[in-house]
Amino acid sequence: MSYLVLYRKYRPQTFADVVGQEIIIQTLKNAIRYQKINHCYLFSGNKGTGKTTLAKIFAKAINCLLPNQGDVCFSCHYCQNFTKANTDITEIDGASYNGVDEIRELQDKAQYKAHTGKYKVYIIDEVHVLTPNAFNALLKILEEPPEHVVFILITTEIYKIPDTIFSRAQSFAFENLNLKNITAQLTKIAALENMFITEDAIKSIACHSEGGMRNALSLLDQVSAYQNNLITSEDVANIKGTVSASIIKKMFQNLLKKEAIKALQLLHKVIDSGKNIDLLILDLIDAIKDYLIWNAKNKKDSKTSPLSQDQKILLLEETNHIDHFLRILIKLQQDLKKSDQKKSLVEIAFLQICSLHSFQFQANLQETQQFVTNKTNIYNNEQASLALDETNAKENYEPTKLTQNNTEKKTFDKTEKIKLTKLASIANEKPPKAPKTEYLHPVQDLQSQNNFSQKTPNNSTTSELTQQNNLPSQNSQETKSPTKKNPYFSNSSLCDLISFAINILSNQDEPTKNKITNFWTNLKNRYSTHSYYKNVSEILDRGKIVALSQSQQMILVFEDEDAFELVLQKNIKQKALEILNNDTFAITDYIAFLKQDWQALETFYNKNHPHPNQASIAKFTATCNFDLDLYQIKATQPTKPAIIQLAYDFFGKDIVEIIN
């Protein structure tokens, strides 16, 4: 017996075997069950969606002697003899049977009753190619059809059907099959055929099928003939002449990260293998579309959806670069149609994508660095005189510098202004009652924090009053000194921090944690109009609570290093605890980790659950690669960022405005 191709071998024989088209199938089955058979049906849709298959099944089902809830039974005499020869069902190809004489001949034959079944069925495929005269001849029999005749008209171009025909038929629009249905059917058939095929290859075949099951089965048949062993997505790409998804992914990431050399190397590899360049550009545009869709979804579900490594890579670039990326590819797609130098055009486009935004960014960065350097030198030279006579210095600098350096002032980089605004908004809030805004060690004794929170203006120190009244003192000079790190923070201190975190994980309070998590989701909106807590709530909103102990100590995780450092600052921590404890919670303390460090710690804890010993903790501490600089305790911190103090001294406090 000769080989039977897959789409013929696995053609559905019953309604239950058909993939997709659930609404149409249910309508046809109900028509059979309740004996509401119309004289004409019109099936329209793309190729491979099941039009002809459903027409044959319907023709068999309406003549079935023992229908099973509208479906064929395969047990009655008619169903058993259907596959051999059946004169009651006639299939007509509209392309070769499109003349008026053929349709008139069909009219004469339709007058005779069915031989073995109840209905005589005429299936006219590609009916849209009939001539106008043939349509007019067909219209006559549709206006006065015999009771025993059913016409099933099939077309892929519904707009070519005359309205007079369309209005006399029940029309069913067949939809393209979705990827889920095609993938499930391909997996089933591959198992029946004993094929070894990867899941990615099945998805690739489904994507190339354009919503048609016949296309998918034909491609599977072709790929299985090409590769007898394990079939992969690379084999599907080779058969279709397209670039594999893995190469498209690498090329997209290289262009996104502006790695021009790597992107060009992949491009040359693709061109040398004889791939279609036009299809390559289409695949890259589809990759941008998928990225934009994912990015929009990620903004909505960023707190609940963990980010994979690939997704983190895609987040490296700004949206405006994606816009340049897309515009260049769309223009390239148009230029390729009019040029014979396709390779050169694509290479130039790749270089533009990798260089356009980078040059602009580097120019702005160099200009900003030069500006800050100049202003810092001026500030250092004038610092002594400003300290001796602050009022006189203001008179010299305020009006004069504003006029002479107006052009320079405009060159502030937008990024620096945003950072200045964000830090200043925190500094300008209600000042803390102690001059030192030192970072708390997460394992610090809670008593020291309680003592700090219980201070009143009456027991403030001299340095505190000096700072509040803007009087010069020794502490004010310390304020201007650079930030110093605690020299005693080392691996042993990190070991204490990890031990503290493990104690929290070993004694968790899940009910209270769930309540706080629900409270956390509305934290930013709840304090959006509160001048004192607004900025702290925004910082907390960028983190996530992952654990809470029975003693009401929390572990917070941050992806943003800036928010991670700020949340451990003493005055920020005090306000954060006040926010949490305002809502009937009794949080005593919290510690924080960066997300990648927390993932490593969580993996270690789960592996050594429930009670990791000190030896294993020490070993983990020595190999965990935590950035000790980020976890350092900072002894002092300026009350104002240096850029704000520089602006005050250079332009004067009356002129500088910090926008919240």
Q: Please indicate, yes or no, whether residues 232 and 193 belong to a single structural domain of this protein.
A: yes
User: Where does a domain end: 140, 174, 208?
Assistant: 174
- Please check whether residue 550 lies inside any domain of the structure: yes
- Tell the residue number behind the tokens 């019953």, with chain if given: 14
| Sequential DSSP letters for 459-496 | G--HHHHHHHTT---HHHHHHHSPP-B-TT-SHHHHHH
3-state secondary structure of 231: strand
3-state secondary structure of 154: strand
Q: Please indicate, yes or no, whether residues 210 and 143 belong to a single structural domain of this protein.
A: no
- Please check whether residue 438 lies inside any domain of the structure: no
Q: Please indicate, yes or no, whether residues 283 and 198 belong to a single structural domain of this protein.
A: no
Distance CA 262, CA 259 (A): 6
How far separated are the first and last CA of the chain, in Å rounded? 82
The bridge status of strand 543-548 relative to strand 553-558 is antiparallel
Which residues have a Cβ under 8 Å from the Cβ of 320 and sit 6 or more positions away? 357
Q: Please indicate, yes or no, whether residues 58 and 161 belong to a single structural domain of this protein.
A: yes
Q: What is the pLDDT of residue 378?
A: 55
Q: Which of 85-89, 330-334, 372-376 has the lowest mean pLDDT?
A: 372-376
- Please check whether residue 645 lies inside any domain of the structure: no
- Please check whether residue 450 lies inside any domain of the structure: no
Which of 164-178, 272-286, 426-440, 521-535 has the highest mean predicted lDDT (pLDDT)? 164-178
* Tokens coding 580: 């949490």
CB neighbourhood size of 443 (10 A): 16
Q: What is the pLDDT of residue 411?
A: 41
Q: Assign residue 166 the CATH number of its domain.
A: 3.40.50.300
Q: Please indicate, yes or no, whether residues 147 and 184 belong to a single structural domain of this protein.
A: no
Q: What is the pLDDT of residue 310?
A: 55
- Tell the residue number behind the tokens 């002032």, with chain if given: 409
Distance CA 569, CA 573 (A): 6
- Tell the residue number behind the tokens 């993932």, with chain if given: 599
Distance CA 284, CA 532 (A): 48
- Give the domain extent around 524: 494-630
Q: Which residues of 392-407 are buried (b: 16+ CB within 10 A; e: fewer)?
A: ebbeebeeebeeebee
What's phi and psi for 68, nearest 5 deg?
-100, 90
Distance CA 90, CA 1 (A): 27
CB of 41 within 8 A of CB of 170? yes
Q: Please indicate, yes or no, whether residues 509 and 575 belong to a single structural domain of this protein.
A: yes
Distance CA 637, CA 569 (A): 9
Sign of CA dihedral 26, 28, 31, 33: negative
At 32-42, the pLDDT tens digits run 998 899 999 99
Q: Which of 84-98, 201-215, 304-318, 399-413 has the lowest mean pLDDT?
A: 399-413
Question: Structural domain tally of the chain?
Answer: 4
User: Where does a domain end: 199, 220, 240?
Assistant: 240
Distance CA 188, CA 186 (A): 5
Q: Enter the DSSP assignment of 428.
A: T
- Please check whether residue 18 lies inside any domain of the structure: yes
Q: Of 137, 142, 146, 144, which Cα lies nearest the Cα of 112?
A: 146
pLDDT over 90 at 401, yes or no: no
Sign of CA dihedral 268, 271, 277, 283: negative
Q: Please indicate, yes or no, whether residues 529 and 570 belong to a single structural domain of this protein.
A: yes
Model confidence at 451, in pLDDT bands (50, 70, 90)?
very low
pLDDT over 70 at 576, yes or no: yes
Helix (H) or strand (E) segment spanning residue 650: helix 642-651
- Please check whether residue 304 lies inside any domain of the structure: no
Q: What is the pLDDT of residue 170?
A: 92
Q: Which of 50-59, 461-470, 582-591, 609-618 has the lowest mean pLDDT?
A: 461-470
3-state secondary structure of 394: helix
Q: Please indicate, yes or no, whether residues 513 and 566 belong to a single structural domain of this protein.
A: yes
Q: What is the pLDDT of residue 574?
A: 83
Q: What is the pLDDT of residue 169?
A: 92
Q: Please indicate, yes or no, whether residues 142 and 158 belong to a single structural domain of this protein.
A: yes
Q: Please indicate, yes or no, whether residues 235 and 249 belong to a single structural domain of this protein.
A: no
Q: Of 553, 565, 584, 574, which Cα lies nearest the Cα of 631?
A: 565
Distance CA 407, CA 410 (A): 5
CB of 68 within 8 A of CB of 29? no
Distance CA 479, CA 601 (A): 36
* Tokens coding 319: 């949206």
Percentage of residues in the chain having pLDDT higher than 90? 13
3-state secondary structure of 445: coil
Q: Enter the DSSP assignment of 630.
A: T
Q: What is the pLDDT of residue 575?
A: 83
- Tell the residue number behind the tokens 């545009």, with chain if given: 285
Distance CA 545, CA 526 (A): 18
- Bridge partners of 121, per DSSP, are 89, 150
- Please check whether residue 376 lies inside any domain of the structure: no
Side-chain-side CA neighbours of 204 within 13 Å: the count stands at: 25
Q: Please indicate, yes or no, whether residues 49 and 166 belong to a single structural domain of this protein.
A: yes
- Bridge partners of 558, per DSSP, are 543, 594
593-608 mean pLDDT: 85
Q: Of 515, 539, 523, which Cα lies nearest the Cα of 592?
A: 539
- Please check whether residue 408 lies inside any domain of the structure: no
CB of 386 within 8 A of CB of 393? yes
At 403-426, the pLDDT tens digits run 344 444 444 444 444 443 444 344
The bridge status of strand 40-45 relative to strand 149-155 is parallel
User: Where does a domain end: 156, 174, 192?
Assistant: 174
Distance CA 221, CA 241 (A): 16
Distance CA 10, CA 407 (A): 76
CB of 593 within 8 A of CB of 529? no
Beta strand ranges found along 16-169 (DSSP E): 40-45, 89-93, 120-125, 149-155
Helix (H) or strand (E) segment spanning residue 440: none
- Bridge partners of 122, per DSSP, are 90, 151
Sheet holding 40-45, edge to edge: 89-93, 120-125, 149-155, 40-45, 170-174
Q: What is the pLDDT of residue 374?
A: 56
At 224-270, the pLDDT tens digits run 888 878 888 888 888 888 888 888 888 988 888 888 898 899 899 88
Q: Please indicate, yes or no, whether residues 114 and 223 belong to a single structural domain of this protein.
A: no
Q: What is the pLDDT of residue 236?
A: 87
- Angle, in degrees to the nearest 10, between helices 614-623 and 595-607: 150
Q: Which of 113-127, 362-376, 567-581, 601-615 has the lowest mean pLDDT?
A: 362-376
574-598 mean pLDDT: 82
Q: Assign residue 271 the CATH number of its domain.
A: 1.20.272.10
Q: Assign residue 234 the CATH number of its domain.
A: 1.10.8.60
Model confidence at 25, in pLDDT bands (50, 70, 90)?
very high
CB of 116 within 8 A of CB of 152? no
